[in-house]
Amino acid sequence: MNAIIFGAPGSGKGTYASRLQAKLGLTVIAMGDIFRETVKQETELGKKVKGYVEKGLLVPDDIVIEVLKEHVAKVPEGKGFLLDGFPRTLDQAKVLEKIAKIDVIILLMVPDWIIVERLSTRRICHNCGAVYNTRFLKPKVDMVCDKCGGPLYQRPDDTPEVIKKRIEVYEAQTRPILQFFREGTVPFVVASCDALDTPPEKVVDAIMKDLRELSLA
């Protein structure tokens, strides 16, 4: 099974992707992580990508697609992938259809207020990158990392105004892509999270149930 997962920043997409990976034996292709890694490498591609990123430009589609193809080719025979962070444009969606058959779209629906609440209470360790939350995952000592004793900070873009803006950007960007797949024959599995304390297992179980009904799990 080849799937694409869509969800706003702060929807918990990464968490769900890794849980689905474990349950379904899928290869997660997370384009954001892949590009961060690519930039660190001293390869021709790494240098090219770095050039765009440093100038604050979007990496052109042909490069993004080249990288995607490389990773799709690495998926073990007979296994599927779960794509995260791609496609970001309608053109990319059209190219993707030619590269691989997409069997299902997994769409995470998390109300804006939950995302704002989750991200604006997030605190990160300056030293080791551990993630805390002032409501659910408090450190033992205020603003100090349990793991390494480092100072915690709030990302400057984790404020309600900026979070709302990021959600708007995501929705505007994603709408035509979802429309494109909806007009095709790709089925959707919609996973809703409507409470702040909905455990991830509950959402993953609902996704698994829908995938079984589609004979994909």
Catalytic residue IDs: 13, 88, 122, 155, 166
Using the contact rule CB under 5 A, the part of the chain among 75-83, 123-131, 161-169, 172-180 near Zn ion is 123-131
Q: How far is the CB of 17 from Zn ion (least distance, A)?
A: 24
Segment 52 to 91, residues that bind Zn ion, using CB under 5 A: none
Burial 160-184 (b: 16+ CB within 10 A, else e): eeebeebbeebeeebeebbebbeee
147 binds Zn ion (CB under 5 A): yes
Q: How far is the CB of 153 from Zn ion (least distance, A)?
A: 11
128 binds Zn ion (CB under 5 A): yes
Instruction: Tell me the C-alpha distance between 82 and 72, whole Å.
Output: 10
3-state DSSP helix/strand/coil % of the chain, to nearest 5:
45, 15, 35
Instruction: Tell me the C-alpha distance between 20 and 210, whole Å.
Output: 13
28 binds Zn ion (CB under 5 A): no
Out of 29, 145, 163, 211, the only residue in the binding site for Zn ion (CB under 5 A) is: 145
Beta bridge pairs of residue 28: 82
Residues near Zn ion (CB under 5 A) are 125, 127-128, 130, 145, 147-148, 150
